[in-house]
Amino acid sequence: MSAALDIDVRIPKSIAETLVNPAAYADRRLHDAFVWLRANNPVGLAEPDGFEPFWAVTKHADILEVSRQNALFNSGQKQVIVTTKAADGRIRKLTGGDHIIIRSLVSMDAPDHPKYRALTQAWFLPQNITKLETRIRTIACRSIDKMIATGGRCDFVADVALGFPLHVVMDIMGVPEEDEARMLMLTQQIFGPQDPDMARDAGEQNDPAKWAEQLAAIFADFNGYFSTLSAERRAHPREDLATVIANARIDGKPIAEREAMSYYIIVATAGHDTTSSSTAGAMWQLAAGPGEFAKVKADLSLIPGLVDEAIRWTTPVKHFMRCATADTELRGRRIAKGDWLMLCYASGNRDEEVFDAPFEFRSERKPNKHLAFGYGAHLCLGQHLAKMECASCSKSCCRG
């Protein structure tokens, strides 16, 4: 970090520590920190212990500004998720110097990023997703029927929100239903390495060396599964996404093994975990505000707005990191080449300058310019599928 370290650019140590504390993402502490940052230091330098310093970008407009300049703020140079120095070092040791274990779309830059994105982009276009609507609604209705059969009381996350989008994505990929539980377990282990309820080895989640080794082992399990699936789809192609990835060609050559496995993993994990979070977030808010639920139930035309509001409210992907490729400025701050920036989507989605009463859940919110799907070249590939899934589940819930 070679940017000027004047005292006014630094954010308070307690707030910096909150930004990297996983537990703070489960309660109000994170949003309290964001409220302070937006008002007092919207592009501030965070220096939490054990981490490389980074700029916390908390305003909606600034997140858009960084996101639209992919050449100036790239994704492939450093970790795309905030990571301790120790964990980063351990990953580099395990990979022989690379800072990432898998190389997926989220960690690619041009010219590779548009080439790999184009492989599956057609699958996720609105006109093609529409063809899946009947299948998705059938899966949604089956999930809600299961919930109703519980007799009026259930764990909505476990009984509906986790299984429904998982089944949709696995169905599109071509993964057999009997393997879905395995995919869910591996996904939770990747996204919750410091969560004792999800970590592969709950006793070692705070040890950087053990954490990195566990992560590598989880990816190895994914690789083992998808290598077999990929070989089968090359030998016997089907009308599914696994066939597209297995038989993909980049620059006229078969897709490399690492990139193919990374593609499978990112679709198989992010493709359902984010939608699960948004669906659960919607139900939570409707349960907390029965008046809002009654309003939507009485007027199903509000469901698209409910879906967007649930995605804004939940913001499943809380941040991504970017790295400056040249000296520049952002909101008057001097950003140096090599500086790390945290795009705080959860903060941008509560920006008081963009959203009226941002801490109120409103199904009728218009416009709703949330950043939960990102922006620019890295705009979420599956955003239309995610919205369709959420809408299908909402319509099914409102039946009863």
Question: Mind giving me the DSSP string for 140-185?
Answer: HHHHHHHHHTT-S---HIIIIITHHHHHHHHHHHT--GGGHHHHHH
Task: Find all residues with CB under 8 Å of 252, minimum gap 6, and list them.
Answer: none
Supply the pLDDT for residue 205.
52
Is the pLDDT confidence value at 76 over 70? Answer: yes
Query: How far is 306 from 394, CA to CA, in rounded Å?
Result: 9
Choose among 216, 364, 345, 235: nearest CA to 289.
364
For residue 56, give the nearest of 12, 24, 87, 103 by alpha carbon: 12
CA gap 85, 281 in Å, rounded: 32
296-345 pLDDT per residue, tens: 999 999 999 999 999 999 999 999 999 999 999 999 999 999 999 999 99
33-56 pLDDT, tens digit per residue, is 999 999 999 999 999 999 999 999
Is the four-CA dihedral 329, 335, 339, 344 of positive or negative sign?
negative
* 3-state secondary structure at position 381: coil
Assign 2 a pLDDT band (cuts: 50, 70, 90): very low
CA–CA gap between residue 5 and residue 156 (Å, rounded): 47
Going along the chain from its start, the domains and CATH numbers come out as: 7-397 (1.10.630.10)
Residue 249 DSSP SS3: strand
Paired sense of beta strands 249-250 and 253-254, if any: antiparallel
* pLDDT the model gives residue 129: 87
Does residue 194 have a pLDDT over 80?
no
C-alpha pair distances (Å), 172 with each of 4, 130, 190, 191, 242: 49, 13, 21, 22, 8
Mean pLDDT in residue range 58-74: 98
Q: How does the average pLDDT of the chain come out, rounded?
A: 90
Say how far apart CA 122 and CA 95 lie, in whole Å.
33
